[in-house]
Structure 1
């Protein structure tokens, strides 16, 4: 047997012998599968964008933004509410272990750990497996995070006093108040002015203009207070005479009425 007998040389057909320039093929080689960017493709994009824009404009016109009155830094009774995607953090700060002297725990440490773990996730789980049941720890942590966010968001929505929140930022029409009237003098000398403002525009308590309550209802609230959702919204505060209470209640009830 001679050396080299039976040896064969083969070539790989995947490697071209002559390199061709990397020039894309013409549109005509893909009939029905391509189109010119301008104006065909760009026109379709503009049309889709216009449909969505008109849709957003219609939604904005049908459901205007819930604008509130002008911000007042002296109003210590105003309770701000974040957008829905931050409600879980807002609810977290209500718990004892994350509020008060431990506020730094709920505001910085716990969210910081959560976001750090999210950033490190690609390095902590570098395996090629992508099926959830084959990755028990990452899957468990993700489900725990989602469950916590859903639960905290739900708790924040359920426990929030939406009626009080709507009333505290309500835009109140300015009403000319007769500061020389007997009703205003009784109001100014009573404790009402401390909570409802000098012009009855509201401060710690709500505004007393356009209350849509009768004089009898206002007098009852002044004497007996008011409770909402088992929480005392206003304690009993009237200490004057019945005659003065009747004048004060009538004065407040008629504020904002059209003449």
Structure 2
């Protein structure tokens, strides 16, 4: 006879359900300083910390009102919207030549995609149990590189905004007070055809999103380089014309710059 074969298990129906053991929570006093009950101990602490930050955030919004721009004007074609501050580092990335123009896919999809994918898979890439930074040089190095990159790109984007350019080149020109623009010149026709008027104005007076070109300190060569590679809030890859047209337009704008023959 094999072991267990033919054995029967029986129970006593007289044992009441009330005598069965209930699901009693573990006595966490047996593990002092090592663990605690999620409810209500741990959850209460989390709620208290969250309340402090929430109250502080509400206080800041009451003390310092959020900056608001002018009322939206759908007829203003010179307005270029900027992203919120937490996306400025991505906006700044698109100003560089290697991430704009023909390489726009690299700046908008590939580089951000690799960065955010690395954040998602980080727990699986570094599975070490050591918590001291000195013992995890690879993980700490990548973390510091990411933080410094975001901070630098955000700072650089703020430093190269429109108003920095305006203060560097002079205030916006008031229509009617600047030199008369020769709208029949070939350079102006190229300037208009390239949609530069949308930001810099029909009289090179500048706008809400771009500085004035009248009185600019840039030379014709520098203007041509900016038209191709961008500067500040002006992204690269805006120019869509021949080299001859680029030279003609740059010389036309430079003629109204500081010391230019048409800036009288």
Per the normalisation by structure 2, the TM-score is 0.46
Q: Which has the higher contact order (CA 8 A, sep 6+)?
A: 2
Per the normalisation by structure 1, the TM-score is 0.47
